[in-house]
Chain A
Amino acid sequence: MNGERIRVRGLVQGVGFRPTVWRLAQDLGLTGEVRNDGEGVLIRIWGPPPERDRFCAELLVQCPPLARIDALERQPCDEPPPAAGFRIVASVAGSVHTGIVPDAATCPACRRELFDPADRRYRYPFINCTHCGPRLSIVAAIPYDRANTSMAVFAMCAACQREYEDPGDRRFHAQPNACAICGPRVWISERGGQALDPAVLGAVDAIAAASHLLGQGAIVAIKGIGGFHLACDATDARAVAELRRRKARFAKPFALMARDLDVIRRFARLDAIEAEQLASVAAPILLLAADGAERVADEVAPGQTTIGFMLPYSPIHHLLLDAWERPLVMTSGNRSDEPQCTDNDEAAERLHGLADYWLWHDRAIVNRVDDSVVRILDGAPRLLRRARGYAPAPLNLPPGFAAGPPILAFGGELKNTICLLQDGQAVLSQHLGDLEDARTAREYERTIDLYLELFRHQPAWFALDHHPGYRSTLVGIERAARAEVPIRRIQHHHAHIAAVLADNGWPLAGGRVLGIALDGLGYGADGTLWGGELLLADYAGYERVGWLAPTPLPGGGKAILEPWRTAYAHLATHLGWERVRAAYPDLEVVQWLADRPLEILDRQMATGFNAPVTSACGRLFDAVAAVLGIGRGGIQYEGQAAIELEALACRAGDDDTSAYPFAWREAVEGAPSDTIELDPTPMWQALLADLAAGRSAPEVAVRFHRGLAEAVANGAARLAARHHCSTTALSGGVFQNRLLFEDLALRLRGLGLVVLAHRQVPTNDGGLSLGQAVVAAAQVIG
């Protein structure tokens, strides 16, 4: 018997998989056919067994760059072989489940053609092939055909059409295929909107003109793959400061783009894993240690020891940066706190006054897709923002979830993503952003509809956070009523822990772990705000066995924006303000706080009026940062105080290994008997004593980090022993902090515990929807 059927599952459609199969079969002299269908790709081949074995082995090796083979199943086939040759069978409409792959950075072959004067696409800024180019950003509906993308308005010329139809060509069925004759084009305009002739600047084309203007210190708005960027020379302090002023973004770091790894190495330390991540097809922003020989302008990342770098990922960027030996700022094209622009008219209006020049193009961006962010933490790359290059590639769920019903999870409030669960896979949307913004909230609803269509998803359940004020929850409740879909409300930190379990392939029947959720704020089961929790958890349920001592937030949300309020609440609650004042009358922070309207805060804390109580770890970071003078009066972006506290700690020497003491209290009044509460009182006593003794702020910051890591590790070990579990699962926004994360992980392993932490999914609320979905699934599966 010389025939067999080969079933290939994974990301195998719309990525040049069938041409690869075709070429391989031709090379090995096999006959047969290949087709896309509802389950992936089906191959039928005939030929001698050794050749067929080689075919399968080679397919795994030669798998196209954007494809992902999850399974390859071989079965004998009795049918007679076809007459001769190997052919690609056209897909039957409606039977194909193509899904959508992420946008991918320009491949090496396209890059070569882009800079080859002899190539017909020399300097054509929309060059792409089945191995690279836009996907999610241009698609409006399925199937993923040109007609359902923003390329629909560009009719292919004869040359492009030939490539598109030739199975031997890299551009076979490349939906965004185009050239200068038939495809999208770029142009440049000045502030007032009038087009600018590149020749006037002595430039060969619009992109060269933009590059030239950037060199003169201009701020240029650049339309890219998933949105607009604002760009300027990152070494030009005046330009960077001007960009900050115009954007009204005064503190949050700007991302940078550099032509190649060599340029990046001059400004940042770069190890092998980081270099590999930067050069990957996803081409994310990497957070790197900013200690190269040269420095970008201080205004790029004030108060930071890291900078975010990415490589060019579209032909536009390659052309723009070709002549640049220095990095460019490439920050999202928006005013502070808004989503970046995607539409030309919208950009002209919203970016008015922000840019000196605009580099436009006429391929519409259908879906906003932000740049992804990766940081190497505890030796592994971890996604902190999952968007371009990653979404919407499905994540394979751990064993046990294949039987689950289709579930739609609505995510959190900030850094929102949504998640679809079906067929043992989770599709996590790209980072959508903060739903308090009206534009993002609108996009949020549109994205829900888009994903339901793209993945033909009919949810049997909705999974929502418990917070009554999250827009995601409100939208979910409204949609549930309309569509008559039942709801499951999932506790915020249970969702965090479930997300990290799913991220690590922890089986549904894997049993309980000790979840360590160190987070900002999440709505707790008791109506208070949680965020420093030790949860004995599996997918279906949890028990709250430990927490940070509750502390009020006088002023509610205001306390988050003004960390001095939280600092005062901590000192007043855990030490007593009068005692602090009496003991340290000369301490700068004590005098500073004494000048604030403390009697109002006291009153709020006494009556509970707009002073919700929280156990959140993020707020403890705020309090310590504020005592040290960081962000005390007001922060500019979420998590700023904690991020700058980490940066401060990184400036301390390594010779001192002291850690501030904390105390675990067993079974505090009103709590179940085997629970523990972390009391920060000894930490505050030691910290204030250090400040009074003139210890430097970096040293205090590092001792705080170490003390917290030590305390959490010890508490976790105590509970793990008590409840007979040996695995810890770390999640929550605080684990973006490298110092705390790595120190805690080290200590936990030292105590004999296994540590699970996020990799493919953000540890912050960007990963929340995945956790909500798997918790709901586990509860429904039962």
Chain B
Amino acid sequence: MALSLPRFGKPQPDGLEGRDPEFIRRMLPRLWLGTSVYFRPEVNGFENVPDEPVLFVGNHSGGANIPDTWVFTLAYHTWFTVEGRPLAGLGHKIIAMTPLVGDFARKFGMVTAGNEKADELFASGASVMVYPGGDVEALRPWRERNKIVFDGRKGFLRLAHRNDVKIVPVVATGGQDTFFVINDGRRTAKFLKLDKLLRLKTLPLSISFPWGLLPGDLPHIPLPAKIRIQVLPPIDLRELFGDDPDWDQAYDYVTSLMQVELSKLATRSVMPVLG
């Protein structure tokens, strides 16, 4: 049987129309097989997801590779099937602009992050995945690998509240064991004005294969770390915090809940990387 390779003829449109269910169906078995062998993932809690559009809120790990995001995306499509409710992950424009990777991600449902785009996705019945911590969290130092670092970003709360959708927290461990971040280089990023030029708030000093010690992070070969993901019960912001929420209070609650679950998930690890 011939193995059909992915084709990238023309650029994929940005939005749900760029999602290619047939492509996902074709790629899912081989990617899930490779991922299962390499990262030995454990994904639990999908039974907590209600049958309605929701905002998945996750912690971001693994630098440029974000392996746990891929594991979650693959697991979502195996649980809910490719024909089920579409999942659109809001991503950084750097990913969207990257040749091949950007097209690949868009075929899997990645959409360049933006409020209007997200509102449209919910209106069309899709669920949306966001990582509020973004690059700051994905490049946090290894010693903080089991910490939720949303950097005070509360836009995801307003997004869920405005669209009247529940938040489903998704916590993951192991992604930050696929390479090592020594420090996050926040001061350097600010000094070089990367936050204004590229919306990058960190410039970490990392160790990865094959680059070795590197200022910043490039796509690398991830270490085969054990990845564990837990999907939590939904949070109804309107029910908990009313029509005019105290955003600080809501942020505190969601991040606190996720921190507890992340810490609990981390206790299942006996050794870093090996799991």
- A and B together in one complex: no
